[in-house]
Chains A and B, each alone.
Chain A
Amino acid sequence: MMNTLKIGTYEFTSRLLLGTGKFADLDTQSRAVEVSEAEILTFAVRRLNLDNPDEPNFLEKLDLKTYTLLPNTAGAYTAEEAVRIARLAKASGLCDMIKVEVIGDQRTLLPDPIGTLEASRILVEEGFTVLTYTNDDPILARRLQEVGVHAVMPGASPIGSGQGINNENNLRFIIEEAKVPIIVDAGIGSPADAAKAMELGADGVLLNTAVALADDPVLMAEAMKLAIEAGRKGFLAGRIPKKRYASASSPVEGMIE
């Protein structure tokens, strides 16, 4: 079916991948996740707080049969750190998917392309289902596919910036020659940004801050879901080319005199 998203051996109906960070409270988060109809949820791997092991944890509230977990390697600045985090995530026994994220700069949080490629290569070899967060660089996207990643996730703009799509042209180049799903990840600020990514032909959108920090995260989750559906349908329907001058929608024949 043309409207399912296939990543490795997985298949999904929803094309919205939702991050689980920055939500003000677990109840809002639960409702936002439900309304979004997302099937893939990202998580980070961190030390358990041994001084307060019973502090509320969103994962423990989730029906793990309903959702596919996509742990990330956030916090890693080298390929080695990313691989270590990925192995820890897989050892949970809950998932074999990993969002590879190797950051190269603290201020912009832009990915380190060399470390990203190296970590992706190793984790593909180890049998993970690898979704790689990357710069919006068409050549790097190609190199990632050559090492066997299962999805390429170019950033629209810096993580959490809400700037939307900074380089439409590069995204288009990446999408045009893609052999695996392209999921626009990071920088999405509004439903218009998400719809735009889908209209460009992206296979999905991964976002977090735009929902978590919206004035009404639950309503924004629904808006994003609808925007992604609309963008997808718009892409499949095929938009008209842009023209310089007007073209009347009503017949020019048969005017009364």
Chain B
Amino acid sequence: MTLQVNGKTITLTDVTNISGLLAFYQLEKKILVVERNGEIIDRSNYADTPIMDGDRIEIVHFVGGG
């Protein structure tokens, strides 16, 4: 399965949902927000939200800024 994650193309096996994707990147404890194909995914739905070939995923967080 090939995805776009934060603008980078990545090929993954064994990852089926958003929870799995966050585990793959070791981000489970981070304060972050996930968008899948332009739609924000509620944290309570990470395990129930499948990822599919061709998905565009954005994983964002807060950084210093004015």
Contacts and interface: CB of A to CB of B under 8 A. Distances in A.
Given A48-B27, A50-B25, A57 B63 contact: yes
Contacts, number: 96
B31 A58 contact: no
B47 interface: no
Residue among B25, B33, B40, B65 with most chain A CB within 10 A = B65
B65 A42 contact: yes
Interface in B9-49: 25-27, 30-33, 35, 38, 40, 42-43
A98 interface: no
Contact of B35 (A22, A60, A88): A88
A111 B5 CA distance: 30
A72 B65 contact: yes
A57 to B, nearest CB: 7
Given A60-B31, A88-B33, A48 B64 contact: no
B58 interface: yes
A21 interface: yes
Contacts of B63: 43-46, 57-59
A92 B62 contact: yes
A22 B31 CA distance: 21
Contact of A59 (B6, B31, B40, B60): B31
Contacts of A45: 33, 60-63
B61 A48 contact: yes
Nearest to A93: B43
The 7 closest A-B pairs by CB, nearest first: A44-B65, A19-B66, A208-B66, A20-B64, A43-B62, A47-B6, A21-B64
